[in-house]
Structure 1
Amino acid sequence: MKVSRLLSVAALLAYTGVNAGVGPVPIKSPSIIQGKVTNDQIRKVTLYAVVEGRKEEIATAKLNDQQAFAFAVPSPKEGFYYVSTGIRGGDARIYLKPGDNLSLIVEDGEYSLQSGSAENKVLQQWSRQLKPLTMPIVKMDTSTFQSYFPKLEALVAQVKSNKQKVATPNKAFNEMMKLQMDLDVERTALQFLLMPHSIHPSPDQYPAYYKQILQPNKYSDSRILRDGDASSLLSLYGTYSYMNQATHEKIKPEERLARSVALYGNDTVKAVVITQSLDAYKSYDALIAAMEPVKQYLVTDEQNRRYLEFEKKLHNFAAGKPALSFSGEDVNGKKVSLADFKGKVVVVDVWATWCGPCKAELPYLMKLEEEMHGKDVVFLGSSVDEVKDKQKWLDFVKEKEMKGVQIFTKGYSELTKLYNIQGIPQFMVFDQKGNIVTIDAPRPSTPELKALIEKILTKG
């Protein structure tokens, strides 16, 4: 447990003057959360606060032999918190304000409020109404749109009357809860639509509800960021918006972030979209280009901290920086490293035999290799297949008559760790001096990669 922010119940009671004489200044209005977990395989429970639309861990409690837990929160900031068992869908959303005392029974995918505030009774009731929509997603079951859409339409029809029933003495909570109902329905509706199914509906089979989701200047109320799942909702909405574009014209990489940010009607929301998109950038130069038109939206200390940390991490991979060498075994078992090819332009293809998009690039890559034949260019294929699949890799290289230099780098190991590779295919280009040109190069299926190689060769 993070003692700087939370105390155990026993310690808190001592600190607040119970059975104590002269001591520290008491903490005002602590809140207590206690309960039991029904799943005897669970060993700990985590408490999350909400920071700019995402859940941030503030404490972890080990369960005792009765599967019980307790948290004491000194003077909590009023709002939503989450008690999590770590199981998918097992987060219990609660509402805390100073002086609250909650008792919960946490089950897989849901929770039961034993005692608590008026706000938490409203949350409990809403959680139960939402369950028929969320459980197919949590359990990844085989529900089809034919069975899901009627449930969605039924709940949508109830939301208006549900809002009218939210009448606790806490006016701030009442307004937030009414907004939260809309957010929850929209998120679960988009999650279901975008998850894999054996049968997918065509757009003309969507309920009317989906047709009103797309709006100009979406999420113009920054209060949505009080929801710990808001960042997920923003990602879902961005995907759904892209799917519904009239045309899918090719967007330059440096323009993608600005296009995404433009979907939203609130500057604080725009900033969250920016910070949660940072991992998409693999090179310093690409990040700087993408950030130029949108960086002004980062205004809080937290937003700037997250951005600057990421920028600093990528700066090591800026163009002109020395490459970090890696090695692997070629098809004959000989050790080959990136450093072996100093004096030539090196194009690295990070791929795997199980990767569909990687294999889709192969014909374009082989054509590019033919076009570059006789020039000072080395094409280095680096497979990240697992060790157990080495023979599969060898067979694939032979079957496809893959050219260039092919090496096996043993799964998530030196190569992927050095260059922070999270997804494949990833193409990287290094110049004749062994310096980085880019670790996030265009794919061979685009003309930009060939143009980049020729430009480097011209410079010599």
Structure 2
Amino acid sequence: MEWFKKKMRVFLFVCLLFPFYSYAAKISLSISGKIEEHSAMLYFPDGRELPISIDASGKGELVVDVTEPVYVALGYHYISRTLLLTPDTDIQISFENKKIGERVAITGTGSQVNIYLNNGRLKAAEIDDMALGEKAFFLKMDSILNVNLQELDHAGLSEEINEMEKIRLKYFTCATLPSYPYFHMRIAKDSTYEASLEYWSKLQELMVMDASLLRYDEFRSFLVEAVSRVARKQYPESKSLDAVVRYVESEVKEPSIAEFLINKNVYAYVERYGLDSADAYCAVFDRYVKSPLLVKNFETLCNRWRKLSVGALSPNFNCTDLSGKKVSLSDFKEKYVYIDIWATWCGPCQREIPHLQKLEEKYHGKDIYFVSISCDKNRKVWENRVRAGLKGIQLHFVNGDTFMNDYMIKGIPRFILLDKEGKIISVDMSRPSDPKTIAKLDELLN
């Protein structure tokens, strides 16, 4: 028994020296109204994405390991909310689906800072502000930042979070600074404008190569665009991505910042354009990016593109026509297929329609189908547009179809060309208005 008592005394002494802490943040979601999706997503600065499953009643919960304050983005259906999680966060977030962008209720431990982050009172310089001359625009940003800092003072947050917020607000407020020259020329209709030395000095002053700032999404977004602007100025003879790579190689000494910039830019390039002519960029990626998570994500992206290589069998689509009849890619056999992904709300899509109709007339009776597929959420709007005068093969995606995801379509219009066996000729075919399209179709059909 004496032996046991000694052991217990030692155990209690150790507990006093090294207390057991629970480093976990808890988020509970409650969605009323129509449940559009059965999961929300939590996005972390390091690239992690954690899903929050939502049940049939609209409830969801997630416990996350958190050892220090961290900003995350909560995404659900087209809406994103900024949250700050700490080791003792235990918040409940509820919203009505139809008003998700207007009113969100946040309660529980840690609600104070998250209500402040999402109260809609924090402002940033807007696109219209870029009509102002440089000095007036700089003063406008300073004024907005001061108002935001006053809002922060009124929030009554802890000193630690206050200091974090001051940094975040600086980049939040100045988000449009990197794009000022581009938009000022267009909005102010001043084709003679050239950014001053003061502008470039102010921009580079904010381009702090400090890895600790990567915790702020606002800093990351700012840095990507700012580096792009400065790199293109410094290396005007290079293509955009080549200029960024050269800038990182010559100017960025902090490994974590270099890794972030290369990952962000090369990933975006491959996501948009695929692996064709991307060998040099992939080599740069391998040289700079060492994070296992980022490497895994990039390899996953590359594998998706490999499935879309020339000669690969195209993913299928499931659609309905105007009458409601189900139609899939397998219904278009023994002819080439030129696919147009579009929507009624898309201006560039609408401008391509007359050119597409001319192609249909030019190649009428030839071995090619021209298939237009709408991704409109509202089928009725699409039906009305078709009945208003659209001809040819007009289809609408069935809810849940994965064709756009399979082809990694991030923007429309998008055109795809398949051969007579349903194999890929081009995953990003030229538009109907582009002379290259007729040249390619003539080559195939004549």
The alignment's TM-score, normalised by the length of structure 1, stands at 0.58
Q: Which amino acid aligns with 2:188?
A: S
1:82 to 2:82 alignment: no
CA contact (8 A) 2:131 2:188 kept: no
Aligned CA distance change for structure 1 residues 365 and 388 (closer, same or farther; 3 Å): closer
Q: 1:363 aligns with which of 354, 362, 371?
A: 354
Q: 1:186 aligns with which of 160, 163, 171?
A: 171
The alpha-carbon deviation at position 359 of structure 1 amounts to 0.8
The answer to which structure has the higher helix fraction is: 2
Aligned to 1:433: 421
Tell me how far apart the structure 1 counterparts of residues 406 and 292 of structure 2 sit (CA, whole Å). 29
* SS of residue in 2 equivalent to 1:406: strand
Tell me how far apart the structure 1 counterparts of residues 92 and 323 of structure 2 sit (CA, whole Å). 59
1:224 to 2:209 alignment: no
Tell me how far apart the structure 2 counterparts of residues 192 and 133 of structure 1 sit (CA, whole Å). 21
Tell me how far apart the structure 1 counterparts of residues 300 and 260 of structure 2 sit (CA, whole Å). 20
Tell me how far apart the structure 1 counterparts of residues 283 and 119 of structure 2 sit (CA, whole Å). 44
Root mean square deviation, CA, Å = 6.1
Aligned to 2:431: 443
CA contact (8 A) 1:153 1:209 kept: no
Q: Which amino acid aligns with 1:353?
A: T
Report how many residues are paired.
Answer: 380
Q: Which runs of 5+ in 1 are unaligned?
A: 1-16, 61-68, 116-123, 160-169
The alignment's TM-score, normalised by the length of structure 2, stands at 0.59
Aligned CA distance change for structure 1 residues 32 and 109 (closer, same or farther; 3 Å): farther
CA contact (8 A) 2:344 2:382 kept: no
* SS of residue in 1 equivalent to 2:416: strand
Give me the identity figure in percent: 22
1:41-440 to 2 correspondence within 5 Å? 50-52=44-46, 56-57=49-50, 76=67, 80-82=69-71, 91-93=82-84, 135-136=122-123, 150=139, 152-154=141-143, 181=166, 184-190=169-175, 202=188, 212-215=201-204, 220-234=209-223, 236-237=225-226, 257-259=241-243, 261-262=245-246, 264=248, 265-266=251-252, 267-274=258-265, 277=268, 280-281=271-272, 283-285=274-276, 291=282, 295-330=286-321, 336-373=327-364, 375-385=366-376, 386-396=378-388, 398=389, 402=391, 404-410=392-398, 413=401, 415-440=403-428
* SS of residue in 2 equivalent to 1:324: coil
Tell me how far apart the structure 2 counterparts of residues 83 and 184 of structure 1 sit (CA, whole Å). 15
Tell me how far apart the structure 2 counterparts of residues 48 and 415 of structure 1 sit (CA, whole Å). 25
CA contact (8 A) 1:321 1:435 kept: yes
The alpha-carbon deviation at position 305 of structure 1 amounts to 0.8
Q: CA-to-partner distance for each residue in 1:374-395, whole Å, 9 max, x for gaps?
A: 5433221122233223431322
